[in-house]
Chain A
Amino acid sequence: MAEAVLDVAGLKAGYGPAEVLFGVTLALRRGEVAALMGRNGAGKSTTLKAIMGLLPPRGGKVRFAGTDITGLPPFRIARLGLGYVPEERRIFTDLTVFENLEVGRRPPRAGRDAWTPERLFAVFPNLAEMRGRRAAAMSGGEQQMLTIARTLMGNPDAVLLDEPSEGLAPVIVEQMAEAVLRMKAEGISVLLSEQNLDFAAAVADRAYVIERGEIRYEGTMEALEADEHVREAYLTV
């Protein structure tokens, strides 16, 4: 088994009085794409936010690249090389495409080509044409590309990707899948949350299924696709 770049053990988190995660345990291996699957409100986004430090973990441990990152502020976690792409995209609408990328820029990491706007424009050609445009004027799909590109500017070793296919037209979803595979090809490990089984099947190697704040299933993507019981129980609506 390949070494885990991200190791989450017994993670608990919640909002105010509401407990949402009751001890989530999962691992992301170096170089793989893993999908965190589950229905609306299952706790996918909460898991990613708690890993990233955007939500203070109330229990459990998160290790990234050998470092204990539980409870660290998000900027420290990001600097260690864990990128985060939020579900709501959260691009800076007042800024141009180029400036959005600038906000994400971090120094290059040893032994890896640094991402530059030019390299990213090659991966996301749509963005190249609108580099000077205010991000507010972009379509949803373009904004989704931009959030991923912005996170890549930080030269991450691993990326948390929250529902990249949500609310996008089929063509764009296909481009999204290519982008994820491209990240994998660059050696970036990806943990993505997803409800769309087809999308996950197209990009992920392994899958976790979360329901009511607990991991209910773990296996290869093929195994999950084959397992009608699990799909019935936790994925179909």
Chain B
Amino acid sequence: MDPSFLLVQSLSGLASASSLFVIASGLTLVFGVTRIVNFAHGSFYMLGAYVAVTVVPWLLEIDRSPWLFFAGVLISAAVVGLLGVAMELLLLRRIYKVPELFQLLATFGVVLMVQDAVLKIWGPVDIPGPRAPGLRHGVEIFGQRFPAYELFLIVVGPAVLGLLWLLMHRTRFGVLIRAATRDREMVGALGVNQALLFTGTLFLGAFLAGLGGALQIPRVSASAQMDLSIITEVFVVTVIGGMGSVTGAFLAAVLIGQLQAFGVLVFPKITLVLVFLLMAVVLVIKPWGLLGRPEPAAGRAALPEGILSPRGFGGAERALLGVAVASLLALPLFGDAYAVKVATEVLVFALAAFSLNFLVGNGGIVSFGHAAYFGLGAYAAGLLVTKGGLPMEPALLAAPLAGGLFAALFGFFVVRLSGIYLAMLTLAFAQIAYAVCFQWVEFTGGDNGVVGVWPSAWASSRHVYFYLVAACALGAILALRHVIYAPFGATLRAARDSEPRADAIGIDVRTHRWLAFTLAGVAAGLAGGLYAFSKGSIDPTMLGIPMSVDFLAMILLGGIQTVMGAVVGAAAFHAIKDVFMPLTDYWRFLLGASIIALVLIFPRGLGGAWGALRART
């Protein structure tokens, strides 16, 4: 291959690495000090771009000078920094001590709220930004033209790294940040007001994300999808680099930039997959990332209160359950088609949520990518029917197989980690699956998915299909519930509560967890297959992050510490979403706010409320 072409390719890889690093450095700093993985970091990036496409053209009206362009970029970053301060004061401050799962969910609530706010303020149409005055031309490099702005970006990364180094080593604020990254409690015992330190760190982190976004405007238009597309890449960079390590983030960004620049030549379709594969490999070899250091505090998962010892149903509950199941099954007799559709979906989500709580509540395995197995089940079933020409029955059989197979594959790596790293890896695997379904257009239909996933003739009426779903979902839930009560379930709980102790009494914790992960994947895959036939189509949203978050919100709403809470939570969540979504244009905002409210005031969910009520009577 032409060496000058390779050079240019490598340079463009460096340019994207620079941008990635600027954003990731903010995330890793904030994580280091607060121990919160901030999903909203991607929102800050997006806001940086939106503020910049508003402010910069306005400044350029005054004078088309490069200085004003960069002043505008810095102003935008500072505005976003202040939004970071607001987020710290209003939300993060209240959740420093809650389990990681709740923190992730709460910051994802912010993501949802910001998405609607952005749509409200800037509208749904992408907004192109102005080019940077003085950097609009191309530069000749060994006969290849290369944009001057990209060259400038290449310099920005190391410059930010250098400035951050100075800040961290030459100022008291920076020294305190580094100290707090190791041991924030001790920093407090020495008289440092952590609250101020955290607020300052959030300013810095959000500023860097905003800077990254504002610097993008000459290259890409500001759009409402920027947040989630960047956040997974940034997660990957920080995890590979070692969470909390700025230099590690730099190395990882350079590595990923090059991997993408050259990967696109070899495997144009699966660059995202390459990136996530790199992450999986790094995490397996170095579980703390390239420059991260093992820390008891960060490695020990702060788990939400899980299922303690599952109790059987009392008489009242048995009766209640009987009534609930009977009225559900009787629904098609008096409900309209819409009610039957909703009930079908509730059953599907109940199974998916139950399988997730089997992992989270019973096993202490906080998966942030459970939608992957749900979606892969749906895709397996959908593709077999449409592309493979198979009837529904074998396709429905293939769905749990596909879910279980991929859960076994991914789970093999996942169960080697714990805490936040485990959550990040499940998320990364889910994003691989998402990326494949999204990018492999010929096979999966890409963004649009595939339509025509219909049940066999005998099950084609809504009512019959409802009963089919009810039989499968209730059967699978009962089977999983059985596992929770069986010795296998008790072993998982023992390993969750004290891994060393479980190890000491000779339990093979890893294998147990791996089996549990696979089993949950089987159940989620079945749910996905059932869902595909009820919708008649498949598309990538079925394995996206928002779907995983929906499942988590369901189990949170139902109560993670109860066995059957997930089912109640799925029903309540889906019903609420179905009722409110059509009523308002701001359902995402509402959903985000509700998730935050759940975390802050109702962390034990409906199941917890029921338990409290039961205990009182």
Contacts and interface: CB of A to CB of B under 8 A. Distances in A.
Interface of A: 52, 54, 73-75, 78-79, 84, 86, 90, 92-95, 99-100, 102-104, 106, 150-151, 154
Contact of B190 (A93, A94, A150): A150
Interface size class of B (residues with CB under 8 A): 10 to 19
A79 B187 CA distance: 12
A211 B187 CA distance: 30
A101 B185 CA distance: 16
Nearest to B183: A90
Closest 10 CB pairs of A and B: A78-B191, A92-B179, A74-B189, A90-B186, A103-B179, A74-B188, A75-B188, A104-B190, A79-B191, A84-B189
Contact of A75 (B179, B182, B193): B193
13 contacts: A52-B189, A73-B188, A75-B190, A75-B191, A75-B194, A78-B189, A84-B190, A86-B186, A86-B189, A92-B179, A95-B175, A100-B179, A103-B187
A106 B191 contact: yes
Interface in B152-209: 169, 172, 175-176, 178-179, 181-183, 185-194
A123 to B, nearest CB: 18
A90 B296 CA distance: 13
Contacts of B187: 103
Interface of B: 169, 172, 175-176, 178-179, 181-183, 185-194
A92 B178 contact: yes
B304 to A, nearest CB: 15
Please indicate which of the listed interface residues B172, B175, B186, B189 has the most CB atoms of chain A within 10 Å of its own CB. B189
B182 A94 contact: yes
Given A95-B179, A102-B175, A54 B185 contact: yes
A11 B534 CA distance: 62
B112 to A, nearest CB: 32
Contact of B182 (A73, A74, A93): A93
Contacts of B191: 75, 78-79, 104, 106, 154
Nearest to A105: B172
A52 to B, nearest CB: 6
Given A99-B179, A104-B190, 15 more contacts: A54-B189, A75-B188, A75-B194, A78-B188, A78-B189, A78-B190, A84-B190, A86-B189, A92-B178, A93-B182, A99-B175, A99-B178, A102-B175, A103-B176, A103-B192
Majority DSSP secondary structure for residues of B touching A: helix
Nearest to B192: A75
Contacts of B169: 99
Contacts of A100: 179
A94 B178 contact: yes
* Most chain A beta carbons < 10 A, residue from B179, B185, B190: B190
Contacts of A151: 190
Nearest to A52: B189
Contacts of A78: 188-191
B156 to A, nearest CB: 26
A105 B104 CA distance: 35
Contacts of A95: 175, 178-179, 182
Given A99-B175, A103-B187, A92 B192 contact: no
A100 B175 CA distance: 9
A236 B145 CA distance: 81
B289 to A, nearest CB: 15
A99 B174 CA distance: 10
Contacts of B181: 94
Q: Counting chain B CB atoms within 10 Å of each CB, which of A75, A79, A93 scores highest?
A: A75
A209 B191 CA distance: 29
Nearest to A93: B182
A150 B190 CA distance: 8
Nearest to A84: B189
Contacts of B175: 95, 99, 102-103
Contacts of B193: 75
Contacts of A103: 175-176, 179, 187, 190, 192
A106 B182 CA distance: 20
A84 B183 CA distance: 14
B388 to A, nearest CB: 55
B49 to A, nearest CB: 34
Contact of A92 (B172, B183, B189, B194): B183
A94 B183 CA distance: 11
B186 A102 contact: no
A154 B189 CA distance: 10
A233 to B, nearest CB: 33
A79 B191 CA distance: 5
A102 B172 CA distance: 7
A89 to B, nearest CB: 9
A54 B186 CA distance: 9
A75 B193 CA distance: 6
B220 to A, nearest CB: 36
Contacts of A99: 169, 175, 178-179
A193 B190 CA distance: 19
Contacts of B189: 52, 54, 74-75, 78, 84, 86
B361 to A, nearest CB: 20
Listed residue (B172, B181, B192) with the most chain A CB atoms within 10 angstroms of its CB:
B192
A95 B178 CA distance: 8
Most central of A54, A92, A99, A154 by chain B CB within 10 Å: A92
Nearest to B244: A94
Interface centre among B175, B191, B192 (most CB of A within 10 A): B191
A203 to B, nearest CB: 22
Contacts of B190: 75, 78, 84, 103-104, 150-151, 154
A84 B194 CA distance: 17
Contacts of A106: 191
Contacts of A75: 188-194
Contacts of B182: 92-95
A75 B196 CA distance: 11
Contacts of B192: 75, 103
A79 B189 CA distance: 9
Contacts of A79: 191
A161 B134 CA distance: 62
B138 to A, nearest CB: 43
A92 B169 CA distance: 14
Nearest to A100: B179
Contacts of A92: 178-179, 182-183, 186
A86 B190 CA distance: 11
Contacts of B186: 86, 90, 92
Nearest to B185: A54
A52 B193 CA distance: 15
Contacts of A74: 185, 188-189
Contacts of A86: 186, 189
A92 B189 CA distance: 13
A121 B183 CA distance: 24
A154 B188 CA distance: 12
Nearest to A151: B190
Nearest to B186: A90
B308 to A, nearest CB: 13
Contacts of A104: 190-191
A54 B178 CA distance: 21
A84 B176 CA distance: 18
